[in-house]
Structure 1
């Protein structure tokens, strides 16, 4: 049996996994393991009883991470297949779905399609990816907290949102925490108010500027007609939410700093930072989502991974307009979209091949949708990044900009 191709199909679930062993297109054994040290010892013993077995399992988010880590620790070669690709290949011969059949179907798909082993990235990329997803969670929580704060302030002190030009930043959040209701402002002397404002900001501010802001806050409080009294429970909610927003914003900054420290040894980081409009946050977040770019065989493969590859539907004389798949990594897509906009903003002083393409398409009469233009620019950006990293080159405007 050593000369026969042996395939282990593993269907991973939350606490356990179903395993099917295929030999010469025949199922020779099926068993179930727990996703723990005991279960993996059983799987390891089974794998060691064959010569060069192949292992295939679906990527199922956090649940498949444990199986992957075990296989990596034991240096087993494996194929971690995308669920969409697995479904497409297994639907040809799978007529019903259950865990046992899925394990067999995965092994059968491997026997038929002979997938290439999964590229094993360095551990730093996985750590970066986890940190970046944590950053995104903080960001999502921050957006929700800001929306809730805005709603609560409409009852307590809506005018405070006009205190300074932006409702972001330590000064605004500190003022809201101290003065969630106009009555607190009216009870405070102007000089004390100015001193509190001075202490609330980390930036240098003159006493004259602080006094002007204090007078402005007094004016806003004088004309405010709150819907609730100063001792209402919603006032406490405003204080809590403003503090939570500040805490979440600090956690975001801490996460980016940690990502920067972890990625400092990677060659890709200075390459990404050399691109006009790319700051450290954009660079580390994109690096975290794309991972080791050397695993992609072309820039088009990155397009597909991100989900900006074009599809077109045609039936008879009807031909639908091209649109992107949006099946890929939505976080990477969002980062690239914002990166393009940053490059366009930086184009005044630091033009790039991406910003020039964006502006040309925007001026063209045939392009009317800004999102379509941005997607085209994202494709250009991906090709640029792929070329630079593959060739270990920094961005050079003399090479990248069109010559006249």
Structure 2
């Protein structure tokens, strides 16, 4: 049984240090100090907190772009009741103070005051069933972003060395990139023998005729406007090598993510992947962000957690609904947008709903947002009821999702 706390510890976290403020239930400051963000600082914090009964303590620290992770894990490993607080909530609370001075020590004091006044309304601390999976899926997001950046560089590099070839390809197939890695540019291809180029043009197994043949690429190279430049050719080779490395790394990362997800969420993965358009990695990313569907009393709380709830403005007799709040989990919001874009291609009801919303707004992003909102409600119902996807249960769609 949890005891009602009488001591409230606010911690303001920065990259190199953190500030601690301890309040009692009468709002009296019992301690305030700055500690280094290193083992020495953690040990001093433990010594400081050890003088108080552990059951009387509650600790709060803001979510600060990753800086808080090590301290949070340390505190939870020592069995302290610890909350990661939304900075927007604590910032709004601190604005109620008449004093406009802002320092790290004052921020720690405001966090402690926030805990004191809002403790009973805070969501209970959640222990993620597989934090390793969440770390990997968020890292994957960064790798995908890097690949997109490298592809943008690649297009510029190809334009510098062999611009004509861009009109005959989409998506940069591996065979073409391997060719350009070996023969970086129009000049190198023009000098190469046809026999040396044959290895890069394997027969098409699907029977489709490629727009690029050896004859065609030699013809393009001979009439290219690109001038020989060894520096630009070297840049092209380096960019292609980077892309190959990242793509291979992504494949290994996906395999690791899939293995972890199947171990941690076997039933949930089976449920989510029953929806056409949702693959194993997408399902794993979604589950890594929500942790457990039991955290959310209803679909509205899950929608708010994703930041897909609309911002509402009221004044007097007027009330308007604006854009989505974007105050929730941005990683969850991102994967939902991607899943919505995929699912609408495979599930007719979602495709029709997208077309309906696009006809109303004429903005594809807004229409896809509506699909993401509807999809999240469906996924919540499926996970809550432990049922796989059944297209016949979408009979009243798009108005409501019935399960």
TM-score by length of 2: 0.87
Q: Is the 8 A contact 2:305 2:329 kept in 1?
A: yes
Is 1:21 the counterpart of 2:22? The answer is: yes
Runs ≥4 residues deviating over 4 A: 203-206, 208-212, 314-321
- Residue number in structure 2 paired with 1:391: 385
Cα deviation, 1:95-132, whole Å, max 9, x if unaligned, reads: 311111111111111111224354323351x2222212
Q: Is the 8 A contact 2:81 2:125 kept in 1?
A: no
Distance of aligned partners of 1:215 and 1:261 in 2 relative to their CA distance in 1, 3 Å threshold: same
Is 1:243 the counterpart of 2:245? The answer is: no
Q: Tell me how far apart the structure 2 counterparts of residues 5 and 221 of structure 1 sit (CA, whole Å).
A: 78
Of 153, 160, 176, the residue aligned with 1:155 is 160
Q: Tell me how far apart the structure 1 counterparts of residues 194 and 167 of structure 2 sit (CA, whole Å).
A: 18
Is 1:122 the counterpart of 2:119? The answer is: no
Q: How far 1:385 sits from its partner (Å)?
A: 1.0
Q: Tell me how far apart the structure 2 counterparts of residues 211 and 13 of structure 1 sit (CA, whole Å).
A: 55
Q: Tell me how far apart the structure 2 counterparts of residues 290 and 4 of structure 1 sit (CA, whole Å).
A: 28
Cα deviation, 1:63-111, whole Å, max 9, x if unaligned, reads: 1001111112111111110111110112212531111111111111111
Q: Secondary structure at the match of 1:61?
A: coil
Is 1:42 the counterpart of 2:44? The answer is: yes
Q: How far 1:232 sits from its partner (Å)?
A: 2.5
Q: How far 1:26 sits from its partner (Å)?
A: 0.8
RMSD, aligned CA: 2.8
Q: Tell me how far apart the structure 2 counterparts of residues 44 and 391 of structure 1 sit (CA, whole Å).
A: 43
Q: How far 1:362 sits from its partner (Å)?
A: 4.4
In structure 1, the gaps of 5 or more residues are none
In structure 2, the gaps of 5 or more residues are 398-403
Comparing 235-244 with 45-54, greater Cα deviation is found at 45-54
Distance of aligned partners of 1:273 and 1:3 in 2 relative to their CA distance in 1, 3 Å threshold: closer
- Residue number in structure 2 paired with 1:358: 354
Q: How far 1:371 sits from its partner (Å)?
A: 2.6
Q: Tell me how far apart the structure 2 counterparts of residues 144 and 30 of structure 1 sit (CA, whole Å).
A: 45
Q: Is the 8 A contact 1:194 1:211 kept in 2?
A: no
- Residue number in structure 2 paired with 1:371: 365
Of 30, 35, 44, the residue aligned with 1:33 is 35
Is 1:143 the counterpart of 2:155? The answer is: no
Cα deviation, 1:261-289, whole Å, max 9, x if unaligned, reads: 11102132111111121112321222233
- Residue number in structure 2 paired with 1:299: 299
Of 50, 73, 78, the residue aligned with 1:74 is 78
Q: Secondary structure at the match of 2:35?
A: strand
Q: Secondary structure at the match of 1:8?
A: strand
Q: How far 1:156 sits from its partner (Å)?
A: 1.3
* 1:172-321 equivalent positions in 2, closer than 5 A: 172-198=176-202, 213-226=213-226, 228-229=227-228, 231-265=229-263, 266=265, 267-313=267-313
Aligned length: 388
Distance of aligned partners of 1:17 and 1:118 in 2 relative to their CA distance in 1, 3 Å threshold: farther
Cα deviation, 1:175-225, whole Å, max 9, x if unaligned, reads: 221222212222222233113433xx9x8589x979972122112212212
Q: Secondary structure at the match of 1:32?
A: strand
Q: Tell me how far apart the structure 2 counterparts of residues 381 and 211 of structure 1 sit (CA, whole Å).
A: 39
Q: How far 1:314 sits from its partner (Å)?
A: 5.5
Q: Is the 8 A contact 2:308 2:325 kept in 1?
A: yes
Q: Is the 8 A contact 2:278 2:339 kept in 1?
A: yes
Q: Is the 8 A contact 1:357 1:377 kept in 2?
A: yes
Q: Tell me how far apart the structure 2 counterparts of residues 196 and 355 of structure 1 sit (CA, whole Å).
A: 39
Q: How far 1:55 sits from its partner (Å)?
A: 0.8
Q: Secondary structure at the match of 1:322?
A: strand
TM-score by length of 1: 0.87
Q: Secondary structure at the match of 1:63?
A: coil
Cα deviation, 1:271-311, whole Å, max 9, x if unaligned, reads: 11111211123212222333333222322222222222112
